[in-house]
Chain A
């Protein structure tokens, strides 16, 4: 089983700042099997990134994904007020699929 570890647990930033969220896999994985989601309270998770670096439909270009091997990153270039929520990475290359424990982006 691939264990995903996200860091930091909480990121305190201001609107307009750049956010860098990390997701580390316990073993090297193919980068095409990493996705990122945004989780707002009361809503279904929103797909942001698939295959490590491809933006999902309708996702603004301030969101970007990168990485390879064991280290993957979600970057939000300029935080908007609606971006201060929780983000999860997801591995889907084999069973069991797994999620990271989440990173909360909060207003500083």
Chain B
């Protein structure tokens, strides 16, 4: 059974960098043709696709976040990561990591990140 778990600071100051890591267990990340993805949901709003990374390292980003976003992958640790620069209160949300096969078939439980001084 594949499991994903987000980790990282729950509080980030405005203008600083939000960093999260997703640890995958139950199956090597490189075992199949999957996109490893990030999604977020601000309180009271809908789901927003952040971006995805393939195990080769190729990435696709949400155009609205592209200038501030970096995704990376470390298959030796079975982890992938998100870095979002210059955060504001609008980046406050629950952040999910997920495996994208035919739709998102496995999700992490979500990490609450608050941007506040």
Most buried by B among A37, A97, A100: A97
A83 within 8 A of B: no
A99 contacts across to B, CB distance below 8 A: 39, 46-49
For chain B, which range describes its interface: under 10, 10 to 19, 20 to 34, or 35 or more residues? 20 to 34
Residue from the list B37, B46, B61, B96 in contact with A88, Cβ < 8 A? B46
In the docked arrangement, what's the CA distance between A35 and B62, Å?
Answer: 19
In the docked arrangement, what's the CA distance between A18 and B47, Å?
Answer: 25
Do residues A96 and B62 form an inter-chain contact, with CB atoms below 8 A?
Answer: yes
In the docked arrangement, what's the CA distance between A49 and B100, Å?
Answer: 13
Residue from the list B61, B100, B107 in contact with A45, Cβ < 8 A? B107
What is the CB-to-nearest-CB distance from B71 to chain A, in angstroms, rounded to a whole number? 12
B47 contacts across to A, CB distance below 8 A: 37, 39, 45, 88, 90, 99, 102
What is the CB-to-nearest-CB distance from B68 to chain A, in angstroms, rounded to a whole number? 15
For chain A, which range describes its interface: under 10, 10 to 19, 20 to 34, or 35 or more residues? 20 to 34
A50 within 8 A of B: yes
Tell me whether A92 and B107 are in contact in the complex, defined as CB-CB below 8 angstroms, given that A97-B49, A100-B46 are known contacts: no
Instruction: Name the residue on B nearest A95 (C-beta).
Output: B60
Instruction: Name the residue on A nearest B62 (C-beta).
Output: A96
A106 within 8 A of B: no
Closest 4 CB pairs of A and B: A35-B103, A95-B60, A50-B103, A44-B107
User: Which residues on A are within 8 Å of B, measured CB to CB?
Assistant: 1, 32, 35, 37, 39, 43-45, 47, 49-51, 54, 56, 88, 90, 92, 95-102
10 further interface pairs, Cβ-Cβ under 8 Å (given A37-B47, A37-B103): A1-B63, A32-B102, A37-B104, A44-B107, A45-B96, A47-B105, A50-B102, A96-B60, A96-B62, A100-B46
User: Which residues on B are within 8 Å of A, measured CB to CB?
Assistant: 37, 39, 46-49, 52, 60-63, 96, 100, 102-105, 107-110
